[in-house]
Amino acid sequence: MCLAFPGKIVRIDGEFSSVDYGEDGIRDNINISLVEAKLGSYVLVQGGFAIRVMSERDAKEALDAWKMLRELQEAETEMPQH
C-alpha cells in the first residue's frame, strides 16, 4: 500500500523543497518537478515526490484526520488487554 501525505512547502531549491508536515516535522529534498508549486503551497507527497498541489483547507483536513488516527492508535495500544 502506498500512502501520500499533505504538507506545506517552506523552502525551494531548484526542483527540491522542504515540506512541513505539521506535528510530523519538516522533511527536506522533496522533489517538486511534477507539480507547479511555489513557496507556501500545500502539496500531496508520495515517495519523496510532490504529486499534487492542494488547497490549504483540504490539506489541513487531511492532516487533522491523520492526527486523529494516530491518537486512536495510541489510545488502543495503551488499553489493557483482557
pLDDT in tens, 7-62: 999 999 999 999 998 877 889 999 999 999 999 999 999 999 999 999 999 999 99
Instruction: Pick the more confident residue, 28 or 2.
Output: 28
Tell the residue number behind the cell numbers 515526490, with chain if given. Answer: 49
Residue 70 CA from chain centroid, whole number: 14
d(CA 15, CA 69) in angstroms, rounded, equals: 32
| H, E, C per residue of the chain | CCCCEEEEEEEEECCEEEEECHHHCEEEEEECCCCCCCCCCEEEEECCEEEEEECHHHHHHHHHHHHHHHHHHHHHHHCCCC
pTM above 0.75, yes or no: yes
Which option is the CATH number for 5-78: 1.10.150.110, 2.30.30.140, 2.40.50.180, 1.10.357.10? 2.30.30.140
